[in-house]
RNA sequence: CGGGGCGUAGCGCAGCCUGGUAGCGCACCAGUUUUGGGAACUGGUGGUCGGAGGUUCAAAUCCUCUCGCCCCGACCA
């Protein structure tokens, strides 16, 4: 059903019926967004066939967005309001943190990217094109080059610093595979900030201020999130945090300590080597046991009657072309990023089945570090949890056979023990005596200490207090604004639709007339709607000529936090029904006190989410 | 880029294997009856079957090429 088609145009007999109702108000032009009869929010009964994730389905069904092409979406009026709310919170907090808003171009010339070196480094994700004269350009996936070009023109002295500039703007990244609706689009709305400081100490102070601002922003958005330590990736700065919205459907795995503040992306999470009590091997030497067709840890563990932790998982990877065997305990998983760092390799991937067969003569399920075929791998490395491990079971490098009684230090040539495994629930916190818990998260923000990578490459220098010329020390800070909207839904929805946090809902209150043809009901609704506007409450008024059921369904889909249902029965008794979107039952509220009641409810749902001005009081 | 799937009315789908009148539900239009959780009935409107080529008396259906979209993987400042 489409809101606008339903009610925008009344003709013939319907128009006559409407004319017969003298109390029906004329079409309001000034507040058309607030009346469902005028609001462009086409809702859908069924899920579109190309939407898989909840946020994409609900945003589409509830009339917030439409897809134009792969990874590119239209933001319809409802979602524009949500985005505006998120943007307002971001602006208020960043302005308070001393940042200044500006706006940079989406189209960027190739020259500055060549200067920073990224014209070559950046892959096909950078959408490049030529103008009519043949000059090369790209659509901005990020704006380090542009901002550095701006700052280097006019900033000369340490006295001009610190400087922190941000924008909220559309970005384009030609993702290999756009997916999950707004969560990983090609075109998306991003807030990106860039800081400029005189030295590293000052830059880290700015970093901390931005970190705090981010915490305030996501708290005010009403989201359950964690700042986590993140991999610094190819930029390789010294400090980086991701802000992760907790949601089952999140792409990122994160762990956080149940006792202290430690939280990290599992790619990054460090692990302390367990204090293994030194034990002497009880088996004098490895023994071959038959394990026909048994390849997986589970199968072998069940067959031998040993727990998975008594097995060694032997993984073979190709590190820059050379085969390396990496050992982790049977109940652990390899972290390829840690392995890559240990090996100092530029690429690490699991070796192909063919390559393993060629080198070992047996399939991957029967590999082990003892009795390795000569030259099969260039080296063997092991996770720190295996240091001193005795009496373990491993593959025997023979088809359909494993060893038991393998003691690593005696029976294998391990060139290094290091933290190589993936952190998971139940592991010890690396900072305190707590335990780690596992979560899934959606990365909505990232703060990054950049150092001088761009300022040095692009000669963005200042003269410091000692009259020495030096590159400015930078940081960059992103928030995926449109992704915040999607993440909020991933975290806040039920079977019926969206359940917006109050702070970012498109409206605060949804007023429904249950019998739009009963004059008393309409009069009551109009009066409440007008009173809400006077009181500064953002109300969407569903004045459409629809049955109550359809209005309830649409209201649940749209997810406005408070719903006021006005029906004939209640109006006779002088009451209306108020229901929170997440609540099961409505409460009856006297019409005379309805506005005050709504104001209190709104304030209650915004508790702890003060604006900078309110915090200053 | 590898693997898988899908393009038929605005939306969701069937029909394709085995060639022969393009169909269903929702939405939309008209009317009647309804009216507190996506109303019922009656009658309507709407399709170059993603595109191009081919086979055939005849192609949504078979063949070739092509474009688009979705999912898994690889990738992701």
Token couple for A286 = 């490895």
Question: Could you give phi then psi for residue A161, rounded to 5 degrees?
Answer: -105, 160
**Among A611, A584, A598, which Cα is nearest to A499's?**
A584
pLDDT at A562: 97
Burial bucket for residue A558 (CB in 10 Å: 0-12, 13-18, 19+)? buried
The stretch A51-72 carries a mean pLDDT of 90
Give the pLDDT band (50/70/90) at residue A490: very high
Average pLDDT of chain A, as a whole number: 84
pLDDT tens for residues A287-332?
A: 777 777 777 777 777 777 777 778 888 888 877 777 788 888 888 8
The stretch A169-180 carries a mean pLDDT of 86
pLDDT at A237: 59
The DSSP code sequence of A455-485 is HHHTT-EEE-TTS-EEEPEEEEEEEEHHHHH
**CA–C1' gap, A279 and B5, in angstroms:** 54
pLDDT at A78: 94
CB atoms within 10 A of CB A303: 16
A180 touches strand B (CB under 7 A): yes
pLDDT at A31: 54
A177 touches strand B (CB under 7 A): yes
First to last CA, chain A: 47
A118: the nucleotide nearest its CA (via C1') is B77
Question: Could you give phi then psi for residue A490, rounded to 5 degrees?
Answer: -55, -35
Q: In a 3-state reduction of DSSP, which class is residue A517?
A: coil
Kindly report whether the peptide bond that precedes residue A162 is cis, defined as omega within 30 degrees of 0: yes
**CA–C1' gap, A177 and B4, in angstroms:** 15
What is the Cα–Cα distance from A547 to A556, expressed in whole angstroms? Answer: 15
What is the Cα–Cα distance from A418 to A420, expressed in whole angstroms? Answer: 6
From residues 244-263 of A, which are strand B contacts by CB within 7 A?
A: 251
The stretch A462-473 carries a mean pLDDT of 90
Look at residue A608 and tell me whether its pLDDT is greater than 70: no
A467 contacts: CB under 8 Å, gap ≥ 6: none
Token couple for A332 = 């652990």
A476: the nucleotide nearest its CA (via C1') is B77
What is the Cα–Cα distance from A297 to A180, expressed in whole angstroms? Answer: 33
pLDDT at A30: 55
pLDDT at A480: 93
**CA–C1' gap, A50 and B49, in angstroms:** 20
Cβ–Cβ < 8 Å for A581, A500: yes
A69 touches strand B (CB under 7 A): yes
Pairing status of strand A416-418 against strand A322-329: unpaired
**CA–C1' gap, A1 and B12, in angstroms:** 13
pTM: 0.82
A575: the nucleotide nearest its CA (via C1') is B36
Cβ–Cβ < 8 Å for A269, A423: yes
A178 touches strand B (CB under 7 A): yes
**CA–C1' gap, A167 and B21, in angstroms:** 61
Give the pLDDT band (50/70/90) at residue A26: very low
A496 touches strand B (CB under 7 A): yes
A234: the nucleotide nearest its CA (via C1') is B77
A69 contacts: CB under 8 Å, gap ≥ 6: none
Burial bucket for residue A101 (CB in 10 Å: 0-12, 13-18, 19+)? middle
Question: From start to end of A346-472, where are the E strands?
Answer: 348-350, 379-383, 392-395, 401-406, 416-418, 436-451, 461-463, 469-471
Look at residue A251 and tell me whether its pLDDT is greater than 50: yes
A68: the nucleotide nearest its CA (via C1') is B69
pLDDT tens for residues A321-360?
A: 777 888 888 888 887 777 777 777 777 777 777 777 777 7
Which bases along strand B come within 7 Å of a protein CB atom?
1-2, 6, 11-13, 25-32, 34-39, 68-77
Question: Could you give phi then psi for residue A154, rounded to 5 degrees?
Answer: -120, -15
pLDDT tens for residues A204-245?
A: 999 999 999 999 999 999 999 989 888 765 555 568 889 999
The DSSP code sequence of A301-316 is HHHHT--GGGBEEEEE
From residues 349-368 of A, which are strand B contacts by CB within 7 A?
A: 349
From residues 106-135 of A, which are strand B contacts by CB within 7 A?
A: 123
A52 touches strand B (CB under 7 A): yes
**CA–C1' gap, A68 and B66, in angstroms:** 22
pLDDT tens for residues A521-557?
A: 999 999 999 999 999 999 999 998 889 999 999 999 9
Q: Is A297 left (phi over 0), alpha (psi -120 to 50) or beta?
A: alpha
ipTM of the complex: 0.86
Token couple for A524 = 């009551």
């Amino acid at each position: 059903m489409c809101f606008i088609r339903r009610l925008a145009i009344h003709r013939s007999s319907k128009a006559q019926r409407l004319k017969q109702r003298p109390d029906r108000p004329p079409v309001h032009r000034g507040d058309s967004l607030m009346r469902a009869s005028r609001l462009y929010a086409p809702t859908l009964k069924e899920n579109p066939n190309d939407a898989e994730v909840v946020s994409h389905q609900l945003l589409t069904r509830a009339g917030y967005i439409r897809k134009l092409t792969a990874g590119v979406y239209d933001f319809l009026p409802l979602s524009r309001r949500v985005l505006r709310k998120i943007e307002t919170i971001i602006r208020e907090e960043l302005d308070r943190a001393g940042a200044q808003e500006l706006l940079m171009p989406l189209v960027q010339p190739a020259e500055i990217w060549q200067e920073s070196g990224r014209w070559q480094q950046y892959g096909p994700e950078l959408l490049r094109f030529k103008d009519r004269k043949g000059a090369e350009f790209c659509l901005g996936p990020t704006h380090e080059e542009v901002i550095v070009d701006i700052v280097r023109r006019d900033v000369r002295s340490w006295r001009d610093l610190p400087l922190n500039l941000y924008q909220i703007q559309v970005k384009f990244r030609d993702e290999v595979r756009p997916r999950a609706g707004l969560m990983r689009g090609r075109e998306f709305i991003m807030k990106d900030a860039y800081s400029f400081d005189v030295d590293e100490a000052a830059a880290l102070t700015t970093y901390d201020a931005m970190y705090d601002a981010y915490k305030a922003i996501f708290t005010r958005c009403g989201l359950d999130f964690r700042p986590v330590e993140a991999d610094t990736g190819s930029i390789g700065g010294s400090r980086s945090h991701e802000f992760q919205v907790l949601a089952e459907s999140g792409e990122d795995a994160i762990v956080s300590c149940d006792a202290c503040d430690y939280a990290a992306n599992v790619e990054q999470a460090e692990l302390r080597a367990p204090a293994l009590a030194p034990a002497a091997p009880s088996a004098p030497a490895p023994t071959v046991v038959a394990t026909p067709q048994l390849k997986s840890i589970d199968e072998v563990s069940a067959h031998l009657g040993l727990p998975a932790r008594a097995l060694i998982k032997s993984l073979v990877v190709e590190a820059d072309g050379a085969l390396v065997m990496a050992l982790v305990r049977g109940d652990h998983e390899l972290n390829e990023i840690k392995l890559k760092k240990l090996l100092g390799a530029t690429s690490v991937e699991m070796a192909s089945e063919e390559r393993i067969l060629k080198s070992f003569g047996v399939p991957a399920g029967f590999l082990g570090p003892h009795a390795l075929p000569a030259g099969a791998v260039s080296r063997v490395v092991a996770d720190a949890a295996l240091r001193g491990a005795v009496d373990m079971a491993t593959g025997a490098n023979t088809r359909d056979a494993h060893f038991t009684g393998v003691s690593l230090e005696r029976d294998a040539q391990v060139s290094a023990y290091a933290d190589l495994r993936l952190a998971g629930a139940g592991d010890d916190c690396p900072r305190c005596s707590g335990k780690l818990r596992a979560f899934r998260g959606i990365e909505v923000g990232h703060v990054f200490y950049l150092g001088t990578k761009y300022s040095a490459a692009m000669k963005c220098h200042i003269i410091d207090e000692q009259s020495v010329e030096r590159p400015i020390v930078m940081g960059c800070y992103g928030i995926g604004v449109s992704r915040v909207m999607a993440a909020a839904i991933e975290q806040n929805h039920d079977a019926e639709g969206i359940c917006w946090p109050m702070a970012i809902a498109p409206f605060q209150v949804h007023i429904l007339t249950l019998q739009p043809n009963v004059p008393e009901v309409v009069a009551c609704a109009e009066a409440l709607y007008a009173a809400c506007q006077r009181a500064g409450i953002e109300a969407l008024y569903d004045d459409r000529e629809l049955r109550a059921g359809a209005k309830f369904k649409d209201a649940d889909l749209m997810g406005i936090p408070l719903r006021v249902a006005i029906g004939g029965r209640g109006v006779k008794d002088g009451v209306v029904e108020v229901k929170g979107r997440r609540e099961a039952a409505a409460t009856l509220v006297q019409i005379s006190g309805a506005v005050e009641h709504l104001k209190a409810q709104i304030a209650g749902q915004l508790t702890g989410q003060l604006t900078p001005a309110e915090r200053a009081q």
